[in-house]
């Protein structure tokens, strides 16, 4: 447990004076899981002025229970720190709640077309020039496995509008022929840096755009209006409150998003502690110096200073992309060894190393080192997207160099996703004090981890995918990030998968069992990842992430005990109450 002198002094002061003044709220008769250094369990907790002033037994809390103290009998229920989501995209998630959505479902081509046609038919107001934006397309789950989707798939729909269908993974988009034309994608259009225009054997665009190539269409979409941005932020916060999220990192933000959250803050409607990572992108002529200067400009405009009892905004992180995704059909994850290809037939497959191992990393070794140095100088922590093992290794190499400098020793780097890591690099996370921020829900049998991945990795590498316990056992500080809206926002299902590495019961027979032979994570490690360890990545571990005297009263009450129920039942946990800074921001009927 890391404590600054100021926090330790505050804790001692609150403890010393706890008996002098009654608490505002007392929780008693509960299973209070603290996530302190010993993972201790207590009976009672007291809050005053938005901070925790007592954690202990029921008898001891009586001394600060006054006539006006609100006493909540937990009746044995579990109370724990609020969830800290260390990597999500709330504005995108909120806006997608308002869009034409395919809801992450595995669909046949006919179902895919029918769902989009229904959106077209429902929208009577939009003219032939207005883009139809379709979201939450589970591209890797299209049925049957390996079925091709192209512009022709969308051209069969009854509309004259340009259409863009966005993959839930965020790394692919599909256009119809009208969309290709409006985006001015022609046979001689060059692939942008860090992206790919998929083409047929005649050189014509198929409609599928990978990574940075998506910008050819995305940059043409009408931006969200001020009202739409505000609605998206409100929808995101409402979803978070119900899940028990009290702090989040927006892992790829923009000024429009931060403006919307700032407006909600002014209205007193910011119900979670908001942290933002500004994108560092050198593809369009920026230098490390100019990119960091722009980040600092946004920080000056939106950062609201030191953490307070009431939720506020902080801009202390930078987002960098080193690669894309390792699964088919993208293969934009940067791998050490080549992806495999089938040199046999469907009936008699012969998987052998193919011609490529993914794209060149989106930052060269030189530009990554220069950017990390500039960020360290500015006291900004890097949050780096790495999916393939080569992207992981190159990032760790650059961080190793950074750690040799005085400024580099202070940085708290996070590597997000880490879907496959070379075993030689497991121990380097702890050695370099780098936090892997993992999306636990990906460690289950599913179309994207089986059909779109298994054969292309080969048995040796496939055994290592989603190395959550492998990294933990190598000493890494594991943190959690949902990556919403890549998946639905369902933190408790994700935590269940973290423990079991199993899919949902209704996922189908082909996805029964566990993903590979790797073990799941211990339950305590799963909860620490989404509380104190995630707090560490945000430099908030002295304020939030555990229930200790002096810390902010960010806490949640659950309808069942995470530790005593069957592991599969973790997915069914419901949050009964969410509290941020001592204030109830969500309460279900079950709590009343």
**Token output for 128:** 């032939």
Closest residue by Cα to residue 436 from 386, 495, 491: 386
Which residues form the domain of 17?
Answer: 5-82+548-591
Domain shared by 420 and 459, yes or no: yes
19 confidence band (pLDDT: 50, 70, 90): low
Taking the CB of residue 474, how many other CB atoms lie within 10 A of it?
Answer: 17
What pLDDT shows up at residue 334? 98
- Provide the CB-side half-sphere exposure for 422 (13 A, CA): 15
In angstroms, the CA 559 to CA 79 distance is 9
N-terminal to C-terminal alpha carbon distance within the chain: 35
Domain shared by 66 and 154, yes or no: no
Domain shared by 475 and 491, yes or no: yes
Domain shared by 41 and 174, yes or no: no
**Considering 218, 236, 265, which residue would you say is the last residue of a domain?**
218
- Widest distance between CA atoms in the chain: 81
Q: What angle do CA 571, 577, 579 make, to 5 degrees?
A: 120
In angstroms, the CA 273 to CA 82 distance is 11
199 forms bridges with which residues in the sheet?
Answer: 205
Tell me whether residue 352 is in a domain: no
The model's pTM is 0.87
Domain shared by 308 and 456, yes or no: yes
For residue 16, give the CATH number of its domain: 2.30.40.10
In angstroms, the CA 535 to CA 362 distance is 28
For residue 387, give the CATH number of its domain: 3.20.20.140
Burial class (CB in 10 A: 0-12, 13-18, 19+), 575: buried
What pLDDT shows up at residue 306? 97
Tell me whether residue 347 is in a domain: no
Report the mean per-residue pLDDT for the chain: 94
Tell me whether residue 59 is in a domain: yes
Q: What's the mean pLDDT in 167-189?
A: 92
- Burial annotation 84-119 (CB, 10 A radius, 16+ → b, else e): bbbbbbbbbbbbbbebbbbebebbeeeebbebbeeb
How many angstroms separate the Cα of 487 from the Cα of each of 236, 267, 477, 503?
A: 14, 30, 23, 13
470 or 92: whose pLDDT is higher?
470
Residue 165 pLDDT greater than 50, yes or no: yes
- Tens digit of pLDDT for each residue in 439-492? 999 999 998 999 999 999 999 999 999 999 999 999 999 999 999 998 999 999
CB 534 within 8 A of CB 495: no
Tell me whether residue 67 is in a domain: yes
In angstroms, the CA 221 to CA 131 distance is 7
Q: What's the mean pLDDT in 24-42?
A: 98
Q: What's the mean pLDDT in 253-276?
A: 97
In angstroms, the CA 334 to CA 463 distance is 18
**In what helix (H) or strand (E) does residue 399 lie, and over which residues does it extend?**
helix 389-402
Q: Give the pairing of strands 313-321 and 195-199.
A: unpaired
Domain shared by 437 and 472, yes or no: yes
Number of domains within the chain: 3
Q: Which of 327-331, 425-429, 558-562 has the lowest mean pLDDT?
A: 327-331
Domain shared by 392 and 492, yes or no: yes
6 confidence band (pLDDT: 50, 70, 90): very low
CB 470 within 8 A of CB 518: yes
What pLDDT shows up at residue 168? 82
**In what helix (H) or strand (E) does residue 127 lie, and over which residues does it extend?**
none
Domain shared by 28 and 98, yes or no: no
In angstroms, the CA 272 to CA 265 distance is 10
Which residues, at least 6 apart from 468, have a Cβ–Cβ distance to it below 8 Å? 438, 440, 443, 478, 498, 518, 520, 521
How many angstroms separate the Cα of 472 from the Cα of each of 113, 159, 337, 493?
A: 43, 51, 24, 20
**Token output for 348:** 């008699």
Percent residues over pLDDT 90 in the chain: 84
**In what helix (H) or strand (E) does residue 137 lie, and over which residues does it extend?**
strand 132-137
How many angstroms separate the Cα of 218 from the Cα of each of 36, 163, 283?
A: 45, 11, 16
Domain shared by 58 and 141, yes or no: no
Tokens 């894309």, located at residue: 324
Residue 545 pLDDT greater than 90, yes or no: yes
In angstroms, the CA 365 to CA 385 distance is 15
Domain shared by 529 and 398, yes or no: yes
For residue 154, give the CATH number of its domain: 3.10.310.70
- Provide the CB-side half-sphere exposure for 554 (13 A, CA): 31
Tell me whether residue 543 is in a domain: no
113 confidence band (pLDDT: 50, 70, 90): very high
CB 461 within 8 A of CB 351: no
1 confidence band (pLDDT: 50, 70, 90): very low
**Considering 218, 253, 282, which residue would you say is the last residue of a domain?**
218
Tell me whether residue 330 is in a domain: no
Tell me whether residue 431 is in a domain: yes
Tell me whether residue 401 is in a domain: yes
Torsion angle of alpha carbons 162, 168, 170, 172, nearest 10°?
-50
10 confidence band (pLDDT: 50, 70, 90): low
What pLDDT shows up at residue 431? 98
**Considering 176, 202, 218, which residue would you say is the last residue of a domain?**
218
Domain shared by 18 and 104, yes or no: no
Tokens 């049998």, located at residue: 445
- Tens digit of pLDDT for each residue in 330-367? 899 999 999 999 999 989 999 999 999 999 999 999 99
583 confidence band (pLDDT: 50, 70, 90): very high
Q: Which of 17-26, 458-467, 567-576 has the lowest mean pLDDT?
A: 17-26
- Provide the CB-side half-sphere exposure for 87 (13 A, CA): 30
Segments in 267-337 forming alpha helices (H): 288-302
Domain shared by 304 and 391, yes or no: yes
Residue 154 pLDDT greater than 80, yes or no: yes
Residue 3 pLDDT greater than 50, yes or no: no
Q: Which of 14-18, 106-110, 239-243, 313-317 has the lowest mean pLDDT?
A: 14-18
What pLDDT shows up at residue 95? 83
In the three-class reduction of DSSP (H, G, I as helix; E, B as strand; rest coil), residue 414 is classed as: strand
Tokens 């292309």, located at residue: 456
């Amino acid at each position: 447990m890391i404590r600054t002198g100021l926090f330790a002094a505050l804790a001692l002061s609150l403890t010393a004076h706890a008996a002098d003044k009654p608490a505002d709220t007392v929780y008693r008769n509960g299973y209070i899981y603290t996530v302190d250094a010993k993972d201790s369990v207590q009976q009672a907790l007291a809050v005053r002025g938005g901070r925790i002033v007592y954690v202990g037994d029921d008898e001891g809390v009586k001394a600060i229970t006054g006539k006006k103290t609100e006493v909540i009998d937990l009746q044995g229920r579990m109370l724990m720190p609020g969830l800290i989501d260390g990597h999500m995209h709330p504005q995108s998630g909120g806006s997608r709640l308002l869009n034409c959505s395919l809801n992450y479902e595995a669909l046949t081509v006919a179902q895919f077309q029918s769902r989009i046609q229904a959106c077209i038919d429902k929208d009577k107001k939009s003219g032939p020039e207005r883009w139809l934006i379709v979201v939450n397309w589970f591209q890797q789950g299209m049925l049957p496995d390996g079925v091709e989707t192209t512009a022709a798939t969308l051209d069969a729909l009854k509309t004259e509008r340009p259409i863009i269908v966005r993959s839930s993974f965020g790394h692919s988009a599909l256009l119809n022929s009208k969309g290709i034309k409006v985006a001015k994608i022609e046979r001689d259009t060059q692939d942008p840096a860090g992206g790919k225009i998929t083409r047929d054997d005649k050189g014509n665009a198929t409609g599928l755009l990978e990574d940075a190539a998506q910008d050819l269409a995305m940059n043409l979409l009408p931006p969200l209006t001020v009202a739409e941005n505000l609605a998206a932020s409100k929808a995101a916060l409402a979803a978070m409150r119900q899940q028990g999220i009290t702090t989040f990192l927006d892992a790829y933000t923009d000024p429009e998003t931060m403006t919307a959250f700032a407006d909600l803050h002014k209205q007193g409607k910011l119900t979670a502690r908001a942290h933002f990572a500004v994108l560092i992108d050198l593809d369009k002529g920026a230098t490390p110096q100019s990119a960091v200067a722009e980040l600092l400009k946004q920080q000056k405009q939106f950062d609201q200073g030191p953490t307070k009892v009431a939720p506020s905004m902080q801009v202390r992180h930078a987002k960098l992309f080193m690669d894309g995704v390792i699964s088919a059909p993208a293969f934009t994850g940067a791998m050490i060894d080549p992806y495999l290809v089938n040199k046999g037939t469907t009936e008699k497959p012969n998987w052998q190393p193919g011609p490529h191992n993914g794209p060149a990393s989106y930052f060269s070794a030189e530009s990554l080192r220069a950017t990390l140095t500039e960020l360290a100088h500015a006291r900004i922590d890097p949050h780096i997207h790495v999916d393939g093992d080569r992207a992981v290794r190159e990032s760790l190499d650059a961080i190793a160099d950074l750690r040799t400098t005085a400024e580099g020793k202070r940085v708290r780097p996070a590597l997000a996703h880490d879907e496959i890591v070379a075993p030689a690099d497991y121990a380097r996370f702890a050695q370099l004090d780098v936090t892997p921020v993992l999306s636990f829900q990906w460690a289950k049998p599913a179309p994207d981890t089986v059909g779109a991945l298994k054969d292309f990795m080969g048995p040796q590498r496939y055994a290592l995918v989603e190395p959550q316990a492998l990294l933990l056992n190598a000493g890494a500080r594991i943190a959690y990030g949902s990556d919403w809206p890549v998946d639905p926002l369902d933190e408790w299902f994700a935590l269940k998968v973290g423990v079991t590495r199993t899919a949902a019961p209704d996922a189908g027979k082909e996805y029964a069992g566990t993903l590979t032979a790797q073990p799941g994570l211990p339950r305590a490690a799963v909860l620490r990842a989404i509380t104190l360890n995630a707090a560490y990545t945000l430099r908030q571990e002295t304020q939030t992430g555990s229930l200790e005297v002096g810390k902010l009263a960010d806490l949640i009450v659950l309808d069942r005990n995470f530790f005593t129920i069957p592991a599969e039942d973790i997915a069914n946990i419901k949050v009964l109450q969410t509290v941020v800074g001592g204030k109830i921001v969500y309460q279900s009927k079950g709590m009343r």
